[in-house]
Amino acid sequence: MRELELKYGCNPNQKPARIFMEEGELPIQVLNGKPGYINFLDALNSWQLVKELKEATGLPAAASFKHVSPAGAAVGTPLSDVEKKIYFAEGMELSPIACAYVRARGADRLCSYGDWAALSDVCDAATARYLALEVSDGVIAPGYTDEALEILKTKRKGGYNVVQIDPDYVPREVEHKDVFGVTFEQGRNNFAINESLLNNIVTDNKELPDNAKRDMLVALITLKYTQSNSVCYVKDGQAIGVGAGQQSRIHCTRLAGSKADNWLLRQHPKVLDLQFVDGIRRPDRDNAIDVYISDEYEDVLAEGVWQNTFQVKPEVLTLEEKKAWIATQSGVTVGSDAFFPFGDNVERARKSGVRYIVQPGGSIRDDHVIATCNKYGIVMAFTGMRLFHH
């Protein structure tokens, strides 16, 4: 098949719409549903991310995409009991690829609502069972077991989008894109991200353990497929905060940092002890937790809205408690798709437990950025390679 007609483009008024190949066959098959224009943008971008992440780390990888940027990405390491609880995966049998998706989805569950999932490996029944519980638009993978496909076909009243991609497909070296009737052409970004990119450590502290190297790779490959400007925080092989599409680098760092802080706050004992009403939907739980850890929760308590969500009135998680809990975070890695122009990015990142930084370097103020890292004992590597994506 060389062409697939779509219902419409980005918006219902944008017709006609299709995906097609000028030469050869499409590298994808639609096994279920009717994916749209934005679905395929998410699918093809997310597939590249997980494919490269597995190649770089040797581990199964998954991503959770929304509007052509990852809400989360992760490799398939086992989940702790706390992680299983905050990702609503308690009591479930999880394969390595299922662990990867649960982690990717768990990075920012609020933003992952209605996501597009990408899997580096064949989708098995364990992954399909978890996907079946979540609000999601579709999934792309190199294959599906028979059991997994049957599970996914029951989702969204049988309309869940399931796309299979040829893992051996190699795109053309030159890309084209039309904007306002003008065609842009560029070489495809085939830059390989691997550990050899991490050798230029520019700070006094040069201790870079293997787990930090892995997390740097996760950050960089995630950024390669995130709308720029972008910054990514990573912990234990999992993106825990992605700041995408901001015009200012510091706003990227703040946005991603606030998401990383929220990820940690979900693990606070008071959050883990929340008693929800019976039968509450997973998205409603996510929303309730997000409100509970926000600064507006005391207003919500005063309005009595808690009775619709919790069995008993929760004790307020105070600002002091939140600050104290976030201060316990450590060992976090942050990556940036372009250089940090000022040390303020380092100052913000360290407040979320950042110990390792990877960025291209090349700012006229590199010396100030390096000095700020040295002030806090942070390890920073310069890659020399910008990763803008538009």
Half-sphere exposure at residue 15, Cβ-oriented, CA atoms within 13 angstroms = 6
Structure tokens at 289: 């937790």
Q: How far apart are the first and last CA of the chain?
A: 28
Contact 255, 246 (CB under 8 A): yes
Largest CA distance in the chain: 63
Structure tokens at 277: 């009403």
Which of 352-387 are b and which e, b meaning 16 or more Cβ less than 10 Å from the residue's Cβ?
bbbbbbbbbbebeebebbbebbeeeebbbbbbebbb
Half-sphere exposure at residue 367, Cβ-oriented, CA atoms within 13 angstroms = 1
Backbone angles phi, psi at 70, to 5 degrees: -75, 130
Instruction: Please state whether 52 falls in left (phi above 0), alpha (psi between -120 and 50) or beta.
Output: alpha
CB atoms within 10 A of CB 197: 20
Determine the Cα–Cα distance for residues 242 and 254; give it in Å rounded to an integer: 10
Contact 379, 206 (CB under 8 A): yes
Tokens 């065609």 locate to 183
Tokens 């483009």 locate to 9
Determine the Cα–Cα distance for residues 264 and 110; give it in Å rounded to an integer: 14
Q: How far is CA 262 from CA 176, 290, 322, 331, in A?
A: 39, 8, 10, 16
Determine the Cα–Cα distance for residues 244 and 230; give it in Å rounded to an integer: 5
| The predicted structure's pLDDT at residue 295 | 84
Print pLDDT tens along the chain (390 aa).
899 999 999 999 999 999 999 989 999 999 999 999 999 999 999 999 999 999 999 999 999 999 999 999 999 999 999 999 999 999 999 999 999 999 999 999 999 999 999 999 999 999 999 999 999 999 999 999 999 999 999 999 999 999 999 999 999 999 999 999 999 999 999 999 999 999 999 999 999 999 999 999 999 999 999 999 999 999 999 999 999 999 999 999 999 999 999 999 999 999 999 999 999 999 999 999 999 999 888 777 766 667 788 888 888 999 999 999 999 999 999 999 999 999 999 999 999 999 999 999 999 999 999 999 999 999 999 999 999 999
| The predicted structure's pLDDT at residue 352 | 97
Determine the Cα–Cα distance for residues 388 and 390; give it in Å rounded to an integer: 7
**How much is the pTM?**
0.95
Q: How far is CA 266 from CA 82, 90, 290, in A?
A: 10, 15, 8
Catalogue the active-site residues.
Answer: 66-67, 229, 390
Contact 363, 341 (CB under 8 A): yes
Contact 349, 331 (CB under 8 A): no
**DSSP string of 336-354?**
ESS---STHHHHHHHTTTE
| The predicted structure's pLDDT at residue 1 | 84
**DSSP string of 265-276?**
HTTSHHHHT--B
**DSSP string of 297-310?**
HHHHHHHTGGGGTB
| The predicted structure's pLDDT at residue 305 | 67
